Amino acid sequence: MPGDGAYMQTFMDEIFRAFRRPEQRRWAHAYLWALIHVPGKKTPRRMALAEPLPPAAAHGLHRFINASPWEWTPVRRRLARRVAALTTPHAWTVAELIIPKRGEHSVGVHRRLDPVTGRTVNCQRALVLFLVSGTQCYPVDWSLVLGGAWDSDQERRRRARVPGSEAGRTPADHVVGYAAGVAGRPRLAGLPWVLDLTRCDDAAGVLAGLARQRADVVCEVPPDHPVLLAGQHTPAVAEVGALMESRHARQTHVLLRQGPDGRVRPVPVHTYAGTVMAPRPGPGDDVGVRPYRVLERPDPDGRRPARYWLTTLTDRRVEEVLRLARSHAAALSAVTALGRGFGVLDFEGRSFPGWHHHMTMVSAAYVYQRLPGAAEGATGGATAPPEAPPRARTPPAVALTGVLD
């Protein structure tokens, strides 16, 4: 069995501790090693061609992902726990991944409009949950968003082994589910959620769901997002864009930003003088009254529309809130790196458990490579982790969009 010495063995013992069968541990070790070291497409057949794996390993790698009955949730929780133990996490964020596919047999594949290109694509739609620490984003959970015939065709779901609980779940449902899942983890439950809701069909539902979990948020919203003005006998509804047009109702903060040319220039940021509340998403939906702060950042060059954020961190400085907001951009760069070097686009199976097994191993490989000490602790021909581009272009095979477009 190939390996990277003591560092990989320690990582394997911690992350895959729930595997009780020795053969599962062996194949997990081989699959993880192959995801890290084998160049090109990460399929069992191609990975088995690499030295020192024998060609016959293709069958075992395939069965480990598509047929072995191991649960992915405990593995992902251990990944998050290891990240928290070796870094200082400061936020959660979610990114969306569109995976183009040919044919209609891959689990979850359906046709939808890609808001980035404006074209209809045949694809899988996934959400990735990241734990953010410093400039790094670590993928620790995944969701496959079903659509099209997958919501109504029970036979198709049965063949792909899709649980009945997955039918009809929207991206908003998945994000709120992430928040509910971390609510019971003492060290991680208090981290704020940084989300891009600019193209979300149910932004109010996301905010309400996070409010039920008492989670702090830094959410980018579109200019027409409605809010309730506090401090009035009859709360008035206003759109954030129109609200910030009133000069007497906002405060200006000037931040200094160093450009690519090294020159430092002032960047104005506006905040609403008071606080606002989120409208209830539906009648009888009582999620409590939470004050939000509104931030507006005009484009310094005036060529693009202003951007807006809602945050429950009303006592934080503007610089801190905007620093948190940049976590989402870092997550998009991480998704690009996952697609280029870790096989996130390469799953060819047709089952729901197989897809989640592969994505779990992709997360494990990425976390293994990016955690502090990985390059120093690895031996036996290990390669240094690839650099994550700060604002990498989207590769042709993957489309990155806002979290809930």
Give 334-382 pLDDT, tens digit per residue. Answer: 999 998 889 999 998 899 999 999 999 999 999 999 998 665 544 333 3
pTM of the model: 0.87
Provide the percentage of residues in the chain whose pLDDT is more than 90.
54
Burial category of 155 from C-beta neighbours within 10 Å (exposed 0-12, middle 13-18, buried 19 and up)? exposed
At 271, give phi and psi (nearest 5°). -130, 145
pLDDT value of residue 401: 34
Q: In the predicted model, is pLDDT for residue 20 greater than 70?
A: yes
Higher-pLDDT residue of 74 and 382 is 74
pLDDT value of residue 1: 53
List the structure tokens of 75.
């593995």
pLDDT value of residue 55: 78
Higher-pLDDT residue of 284 and 66 is 66
Q: pLDDT band for position 159 (50/70/90)? A: very high
Distance (Å, whole) CA 258 – CA 255: 10
- Residue 80 C-beta-side C-alpha neighbours within 13 Å: 26
Give 173-231 pLDDT, tens digit per residue. Answer: 999 999 999 988 878 989 999 999 998 889 999 999 999 999 999 999 999 999 998 76
- The C-alpha angle 95, 99, 105, rounded to 5 degrees, equals 135
- The C-alpha angle 118, 403, 43, rounded to 5 degrees, equals 80
Q: In the predicted model, is pLDDT for residue 70 greater than 50?
A: yes
Least Cα distance to 281 among 220, 199, 209 occurs for 209
List the structure tokens of 231.
């401090």
Q: In the predicted model, is pLDDT for residue 149 greater than 60?
A: yes
Q: What is the dihedral of CA 31, 88, 215, 297, to 10 degrees?
A: -100
Region 136-164: what's the mean pLDDT? 91
Mean pLDDT for the chain? 85
List the structure tokens of 55.
């060609």
Q: In the predicted model, is pLDDT for residue 305 greater than 70?
A: yes
Domains in the chain (CATH in brackets) are: 6-401 (3.90.350.10)
Q: In the predicted model, is pLDDT for residue 101 greater than 60?
A: yes
Q: Report strand pairing: 193-196 vs 91-100.
A: parallel
Region 135-162: what's the mean pLDDT? 91
Give 268-294 pLDDT, tens digit per residue. Answer: 899 998 889 988 766 555 555 789 999
Q: How far is CA 231 from CA 276, 291, 396, in A?
A: 9, 11, 50
User: Containing H/E element for 73?
Assistant: helix 72-86
- Residue 285 C-beta-side C-alpha neighbours within 13 Å: 14
Distance (Å, whole) CA 137 – CA 93: 9
pLDDT value of residue 285: 57
